[in-house]
Amino acid sequence: MLMSGFFDLPWWGYVVVALGLTHVTIAGVTIFLHRHQAHRALDLGPIPSHFFRFWLWLTTGMNTKEWAAIHRKHHAKCETAEDPHSPQIHGINKVLWGGVFLYVKEAHNRETISKYGTGTPDDWIENNLYTPYQKLGIAIMLALDLCMFGVVPGLLMWIVQVIWIPFWAAGVINGLGHFWGYRNFACADASTNLIPIGILIGGEELHNNHHTFATSAKLSNKWYEFDIGWMYIRILEMLGQARVKKVAPRPRLGAVRPAVDHATLNAVITHRYDVLAKYLKSLRQVAHEELQHLREEAHHHTILKHVLGDAEACDKTKAVLAKSERLAKLVEMRHELEAIWARSSASHEQLLKQLQDWIHRAEESGVRQLQEFSLRLRSYTVSA
């Protein structure tokens, strides 16, 4: 029968198959395009590398060089006017529902592709098939879906395959991933983790972790987070088809050093995101206590956002800091702590002196949270 396909499945069977096919596409995006091509966090063997490239050509029509270039520019210009798809600039609705159009617009920017698209595939098949005939792949996928599943189910499944990446990757990750969710690390941009279970979008849900450690092949960081893309990479590694080049450093604490030396400085800089996250946790606790003491609950959210570095100081915040010496001291020393690893022009000796001075003043401050934190800084260590 003309309307029937090779496979005759119940309705739920078509749903399962469609989800399976789109999951392969998600795996291709996160493993091949994102972690392998854009960030060079791992090397892939020729079999999975070309399978993913072929599969993405069939299901998305995306060009590897364009995707890698646009994503690298996003990291380089994050949350600025030059960011191709920041909801902080374009608004959440435009990125969530129209992220694909922002992607297409940037793909036509030849300067972006030339500057940020280096090191991507440049072989015969890329130059003679995948790049010049980007839309041929999705047309072939349509024909295959119609033949395998029939006209109506096949067409519906093809539509799902085509819109899956534009919505989930270009919309949800690029949009909500910089707008709503939780943050493990206070990195410079607005990236967030959507949920701790990275299955539906291949681990890309853990977006704040990724922006903090962009070259890490593993996106999960806390014990309760799961990155299914990392699980696939580990399987490929066991099969000899992948080699992980870098993962995020795990913070390690050893004995408290009596002297703040170069080893202390190296450990603090290496684990700077964990350092800042733990400091902000203490700062949040103090802010809650001080706001309750000063009876400023009505302005709690506004003041807390500034204290944690997510907003500019308003008059009310300045007034609260003027009343609370303890909170003002913690905020001031937060800025000084961040400056230690932000001073790229300073020598190692200068940075060490600044860290020694910071720890000394923390210990002499009379503020319990600063004194306790100075001991933690003395305890950070780097794996041999």
Residue 298 has pLDDT above 80, yes or no: no
Q: Contact 321/291 with Cβ under 8 angstroms? A: no
What are the E-state strand segments in the chain? 42-44, 197-198, 226-227, 242-244, 252-253, 380-381
Question: 205-233: string of b/e by CB count within 10 Å (b at 16+)?
Answer: bbbbbbbbbbebbbbbbeeebbbbbbbbb
**Cβ-based burial of 11 (10 A; exposed 0-12, middle 13-18, buried ≥19):** exposed
The reported pLDDT for the residue numbered 37 is: 98
Return the closest-CA partner of residue 37 out of 217, 228, 227, 193.
217
Residue 94 has pLDDT above 90, yes or no: yes
Rounded CA separation 188/75 (Å): 11
Rounded CA separation 65/69 (Å): 6
Q: What is the pLDDT of residues 249-273, one digit of tens each?
A: 888 899 999 999 999 999 999 899 8
Tokens, residue 218: 């593993």
State the pLDDT confidence band at 297, using cuts at 50, 70 and 90.
Answer: low
The residue assigned the tokens 């306790």 is 372
Q: Contact 71/34 with Cβ under 8 angstroms? A: yes
Round the average pLDDT of the chain to a whole number and report it.
91
* Helix, strand, coil fractions of the chain, as percent rounded to 5: 65, 5, 30
The stretch 307-327 carries a mean pLDDT of 73
Beta partners for residue 42, in sequence order: 244
Share of the chain above pLDDT 90, in %: 75
Residue 117: CB atoms within 10 A of its CB come to: 21
Give the list of residues 6+ apart from residue 57 with CB closer than 8 angstroms, or none.
Answer: 129, 130, 134, 137
Length of the chain in terms of residues written:
384
Cα angle: 372, vertex 376, 381; to 5 degrees: 170
The reported pLDDT for the residue numbered 2 is: 46
Q: Which of 75-84, 145-154, 200-209, 310-319 has the lowest mean pLDDT?
A: 310-319
Return the closest-CA partner of residue 356 out of 265, 253, 263.
265
The residue assigned the tokens 């839309």 is 135
Question: 165-191: string of b/e by CB count within 10 Å (b at 16+)?
Answer: bbbbbbbbbbbbbbbebebbbbbebbb
Q: What is the pLDDT of residues 184-214, one digit of tens each?
A: 998 889 999 999 999 999 999 999 999 999 9
Q: What is the pLDDT of residues 9-57, one digit of tens each?
A: 999 999 999 999 999 999 999 999 999 999 999 999 999 999 999 999 9
Residue 374: CB atoms within 10 A of its CB come to: 20
